[in-house]
Amino acid sequence: MVNMSRKNVVVMGLGHFGGGIGAARWYASQGHRVTVTDQQPGEKLTGSIARLSGLPIEYSLGGHDEQILNDCDLLVVSPAVDKGRSAFFQAAMARNIPYTTEINEFCRLCPAPIIGVTGSAGKSTTASMIHAALAAIVGDDRCCLGGNIGQSLLGQLPVIHPDHLVVLELSSFMLEDMPLIKFSPHVAVATNLVDNHLDRHGTMAAYAAAKINILRFQTPTDFAVLNRNDPHVSQWGAHTKGRVLYFDLARINLRSPGQHNQANAAAALAVVEALGFADRISTAERVLENFRSLPHRMELVGQSKNYLGQNVDWINDSKATTPESTLTALHAVPPGRAVVIVGGADKHADMSVLAEKLVELSWGIITMGATGAKIAQAVKQCLDKRPDDFNTRVRPRLSEVKTLEEAVQQSQFWLTTTPPGGAAAGISAPSCILLSPACASYDQFINYEQRGAVFKEQVAKVLPPAPIT
């Protein structure tokens, strides 16, 4: 436990998402002297700095100056910091400076039961579904949502009481430091585990170990809600002392498409049961049936027509930062009718299976960004193994572009231009333009949210005004 009699706090990593901002605000509000350091220069952090306006906070931006460690009593580290590769963090450890994280500090101080949600894909939607269901049962004023979903709850600690419920989305970066406080949530939900963040964790074993921290410190009065259908997560019951509940598919009438959302809903219903609200399941089901996709997660952002006059949905799935997330999206749209935009920053994920499924399930494939050429090459290798005509349709078209703007323009060209022999041969036309990059965003964007926002802007430019139903 951190000794908060110390007064000099260095917050490492301000960022844009809210955790660094929340930590800086919290420690300053508690009367501590706070210095914020970030690799980015001030001009790229103006929005975040503005949110801390008026607080007695000092800034050391555009790099980490080790001199600010001279008087440091506590280092608060952003989850985005790769501690093994950070010279600044290693310098702090060499000086025996204790460190913590924003999420650790919240979990340590939170008086209410915490429902934690992790997984390689679907954790944001699952956490939001759980929050929506519980808010309908106990009241919106008694249920909070935060963590990796973008909102720090440190500032709300004064108004969170023991009879409240707190839902936290927890990333592997957040969970890797939870052993510092020997904490696991009262209800721990794990959606799935696939290759992700290997550029940070190094191996799947290390990545899985970080995720499993969500269970390690549970007691017999706690609950582990695990995906029965995931080959990894389904075995994690051995890592908890809590009661294990397995979820499958909800099979209810959801607005959000895809079996993955049925699984997310099933996890939410299992949490409702674990918390003792089994008699309110029907209320939770009604809420989930009306739950709409979150921004940047299979989000409908526009509608138009293709060259056959058929309806086309433009879908923003920018949050899909792994091949597995994009595979999930592919199975949620009509097979053989989607133009899929993929590519971005390289996290060294294996793209071979994704390439095969893109060739099998897409009408067209547009690659972009740092991994664009790599994915395009994998797609070409798969196309070379295919006959000229399969599954009663033409081979998927492939286009390599550099930017998201070019990808949207290429999509619109394909929508409005009849391919040679297309209409006469009865070949299907696209019914969906799907941005589901399968990669991180930081090759060209600050984060996946900015990437999704740019996609929306570009879609708005090429589409005529039309209401979204």
Percent of the chain exceeding pLDDT 70 equals 93
Structure-block tokens of residue 43:
């001009």
Reported pTM = 0.78
Domain ranges of the chain: 8-100, 103-289, 299-462
pLDDT above 70: residue 441 = yes
- Nearest CA among 257, 314, 294, 255 for reference residue 466: 314
**Homologous superfamily of 299-462:** Mur ligase, C-terminal domain (3.90.190.20)
pLDDT of residue 421: 62
Per-residue pLDDT band for 6 (boundaries 50, 70, 90) equals: low
Angle (nearest 5°) at CA 242 between 241 and 246: 120
pLDDT of residue 463: 86
CB 99 within 8 A of CB 74: yes
Average of pLDDT values for 261-265? 94
Pairwise pLDDT comparison (294 vs 38), residue with the higher score: 38
Note the pLDDT tens digit of each residue in 106-121: 999 999 999 999 998 8
Average of pLDDT values for 183-201? 86
- Nearest CA among 72, 1, 86 for reference residue 36: 72
Structure-block tokens of residue 11:
């917050």
Query: 364 in helix, strand or coil?
Result: strand
CATH topology assigned to domain 103-289: UDP-N-acetylmuramoyl-L-alanine:D-glutamate ligase (3.40.1190)
Please state the φ and ψ torsions of residue 247, each to the nearest 5 degrees.
-120, 160
Average of pLDDT values for 410-432? 80
pLDDT of residue 469: 46
How would you list the strands of the sheet with 57-61, edge to edge?
A: 57-61, 33-38, 8-12, 74-77, 99-100
Per-residue pLDDT band for 388 (boundaries 50, 70, 90) equals: low
CB 299 within 8 A of CB 455: no
Q: Return the residue matching tokens 């193994």.
A: 385
What does the CA dihedral 168, 171, 176, 180 come to, rounded to 10 degrees? -20
CATH architecture label of 8-100: 3-Layer(aba) Sandwich (3.40)
What does the CA dihedral 154, 157, 158, 164 come to, rounded to 10 degrees? 150
- Nearest CA among 216, 145, 222 for reference residue 186: 222
DSSP E strand stretches across 121-267: 143-147, 165-169, 187-190, 223-227, 243-247
Please tell me the distance from the alpha carbon of residue 206 to that of residue 17, in angstroms, as a whole number. Answer: 25
Note the pLDDT tens digit of each residue in 141-183: 999 999 998 689 999 999 999 999 999 999 999 999 999 999 9
Identify any residues that bridge with 341 across adjacent strands, giving them in sequence order.
366, 435
